[in-house]
Amino acid sequence: MTDRLDGPDDALARRLRDDPEAARRLEELRRRAYGRDGSTAPLVEIPADLRARTGYDADELPAPLVALLAEEARLVDEGAALLAS
């Protein structure tokens, strides 16, 4: 039996393992998104494709959170490509 490493968590872990700079950037975005009062961050529109991927129903979220979601999605895509190769 073989383990399938094709889920988003596995893809993200693979991408971050291979790129310490991406891991650092993601951690920085996480600190910004979760380390500041949401009421002080400007609201920005969540792109439709990102809304579909994440399951968010809201049209807008605080800018740091949208940046974090977009970066995580990009890294998951890159990690999935690495796992597929």
The pLDDT value recorded for residue 10 is: 87
The pLDDT value recorded for residue 41 is: 81
Dihedral angle, C-alpha 38, 43, 48, 50, nearest 10 °: -40
Computed over every residue of the chain, the mean pLDDT equals 84
Residues in the chain where the model's pLDDT stays below 50:
1-3
The pLDDT value recorded for residue 16 is: 84
The pLDDT value recorded for residue 70 is: 94
The pLDDT value recorded for residue 6 is: 62
Distances (CA, A) of 47 to 24, 82, 84: 24, 25, 26
The pLDDT value recorded for residue 1 is: 38
Q: For helices 8-18 and 63-84, what crossing angle results, to 10°?
A: 90
